[in-house]
Structure formats: structure tokens, C-alpha cells
Amino acid sequence: MLFFVEVCTAFPAEFAKYGHVKMHHGYTNVVGLGDSSTWKLPCLNRYIYMFFAPFLIPILTPLVALEHLRKVELRSALQTLGLISLGLYSHYWLLLNVSGFRSPSSALACMLLTRSLLAHPYIHVNIFQHIGLPMFSPDKKPRRIHMMSLGVLNLPRLPVLDWAFGHSLISCHVEHHLFPTLSDNMCLKVKPVVSKFLHEKQLPYNEDSYLARFWLFFDRYEEFMVQAPPITELVGLQ
């Protein structure tokens, strides 16, 4: 976790774990807790958010990390800052000394390019699979099975996204939320069982294509990403 999150991604691992595992998985689509609102930037219009803002992810991530580190104890902050610095400097050093870049500016430009290479699908996938689906209030959240079947969506298998993010984030996201400790391979194996079970229980098993979700968000950006989401009342399900 420290290597892949802090060294490679330049983000505090414990903060990422708390936000994703504790809040997002524990309170999926519960407004104010695990509702993916951290991905919303109401100050940006749809064109900036969907097309241009993802290029800023490599710059914004360390800045957000620094803001968070101001709130933790000094020892933990220094450890995280050291690992983040190690990751950024190692990337820069390798480009200059191994890859053959001749100037610091060209190496930094390559760092920005490579670190933002998959930023667009990273942002899109994180909003496509939860925002726009039913939202729940903290005091009336449904049972876990209803929360996950209603508030999570699977995208179809796409080779590049499968390789970059894994099945758990793309085509098996429902399964990942129901069984978060399963590996990508096991999520694929249980996918037909989960789909059959939810259909038999007359619960939704949400699936949609990447392009369909993209155009849905583009057309309804104000509703999904700017306005407050409506609370879903699950009459008869509790």
C-alpha cells in the first residue's frame, strides 16, 4: 500500500484507505459519507471537468496530500512526505539518467504526460459507477445488499482499462463492493453468480457502456455534478 499509493501515486496511503475502504465501501452512495462527492467540482463547467481537468491530476494530487498532512502527527507526516518525495524524485532521476532526457524541463514534461495518461478514464470511471444512481440518507440507509445493488454499476470489459485498473474497478465493481476482499480473478468468477442472485431477488444489477455513461454525464452534468442529489426512498425494501 505504501509503495503503490505513496511512492507511485504521491498520495497518503492511510487517507486513501480511510476514504475508500472505511467511507466509500462502508457507506456507498450515502449522502455526506460515501457518496463520491470528493469527485465533484461544481466550480468547473462540463467541458473543463470532462476533458481538461484530468490533466491536472498529477499536480493536484501532491497538493491535496500536503493539505492533508497538515492535519496528522509530525512523525506520520514526515514518513509520508519522504515516500512521496522519493517517488517523484526517482521518476525524475530515471528520466534524466536512464531514459536520456537532456533537460530538466523535458523530464518534467514527460512526468506530467505519463502521470496523466490514464487520468481521464480514472476520473470518468470513478463518477460513472456511482454518481447518478440512487442516493441514501445517513439515518435511513438501506440494507447492505440493497445499497450495493442499487448504488453501484459495472462497465463492460475493456482491455486497456482492465489492464490499467483491474476488473474490480471496471466490469466487476458490483462484485467488488459486495466482496471487497476478493481478488480481480475471483470477482470475475463470482460475477455470473452475483448477477443471477440479484435478478432472482428482483434487485437491480446495473450495467452500462463507457460511452453511454459519458454522454449521460455530459448531458446531465449540472444535475449530477453540481446540484445536490435527491434522496432515494426505498418503500417496502427495508
Q: Which pLDDT score, from 0 to 100, does residue 230 have?
A: 82
Q: Count how many Cα atoms sit within 13 Å of the Cα of residue 238 in the half-sphere of its side chain.
A: 9
Q: Spell out, as residue ranges, where the chain has pLDDT lower than 50.
A: 238
Cα–Cα distance, 154 to 176 (Å, whole number):
10
What are the two backbone dihedrals, phi and then psi, of residue 136, each rounded to the nearest 5 degrees?
A: -125, 150
Q: Which residues in 189-226 are b (16+ Cβ under 10 Å) and which e?
A: eebeebeeebeeeeebbbeeebeebeeebeeebeebbe
Q: Which pLDDT score, from 0 to 100, does residue 228 have?
A: 80
Q: How would you write 19-41 as a 3-class SS string?
A: HHHHHHHCCECECCCECCHHHCC
| Long-range contact set of residues 76-79: C-beta below 8 Å, sequence gap at least 24 | 76/14
SS3 123: helix
